[in-house]
Amino acid sequence: MKSLSVCRCALIGLVSLSAPLMAQTTTTPTFVQAVSTGIVSFSLNQTAQLNVVNLNPVAGTPAATATICTVELQFFDGSNSLLKQVVITNVPPGTAASLSLKREEAPNLSVPRFAIRGVVRTSPVSATTGTNTPVVFAGCPVKTTMEIYNDDNGNTQLVTSDVTPINTPVLLPMVVEK
């Protein structure tokens, strides 16, 4: 009986989390999953590039469904001010997308080293079942990297794939006392 109560509470929690997603009718993507890189610094003659690859299985492989990701790539400075962003609505399985930021595009050119971080937001992915009913998944699985490279020779000077989830809801089981 106790496990049935926990299951009911978990089901109610999942339904309440997904209710806002079903009620939205705008064409602007609703991003439900986000990760942030750590802060790195770059200087003149360097470019930062935020990269993602859609990790969904490629069509024709076992368990593959046609799931295309919508991602938003963003650069923020050390004060959490948005520097640059792009929304990419069509990142097919197995392919990559990126956003580049030259040091000259960031403010305070007199500062030799400028601190930035990258943020990647993904929207829910929907796949269609045999009944043409859309099924909403938690988010699109993407692998994120950020690199800093030299503009003069193209050499990569830093690569990081260490990211931390942000704004991610956590489902905790509720304990019901008798």
Which CATH number covers residue 89?
A: 2.60.120
Instruction: Flag whether 120 is in a domain.
Output: yes
Summarize pLDDT for 79-111 with one digit per residue, the tens: 999 999 999 998 988 899 999 999 999 999 999
Instruction: Flag whether 15 is in a domain.
Output: no
Region 130-158 average pLDDT: 80
Summarize pLDDT for 3-23 with one digit per residue, the tens: 444 444 444 444 444 444 444
pTM exceeds 0.75, yes or no = no
Instruction: Flag whether 145 is in a domain.
Output: yes
Instruction: Flag whether 97 is in a domain.
Output: yes
For 128-154, letters b (16+ CB in 10 Å) and e give eeeeeeeeeeebbbbebbbbbbeeeee
Instruction: Flag whether 101 is in a domain.
Output: yes
Q: What pairs with residue 42 in β-bridges?
A: 114
Give, rounded to a whole angstrom, the gap between the first and last alpha carbons of the chain.
10
Burial of 23 (0-12, 13-18, 19+ CB in 10 A): exposed
At residue 67 the predicted structure's pLDDT band, cuts being 50, 70 and 90, is confident
Instruction: Flag whether 176 is in a domain.
Output: no
Instruction: Flag whether 108 is in a domain.
Output: yes
Question: Which residue range(s) make up the domain with 135?
Answer: 28-166
Instruction: For residues 66 and 124, give the distance between their C-alpha atoms in angstroms, rounded to a whole number.
Output: 14
Instruction: Flag whether 20 is in a domain.
Output: no
Region 124-145 average pLDDT: 62
Region 24-34 average pLDDT: 63
> Which residues lie below 8 Å from residue 31, measured CB to CB, with a gap of 6+?
72, 121, 122, 123
Number of structural domains found in the chain: 1
- pLDDT at position 117 over 80: yes
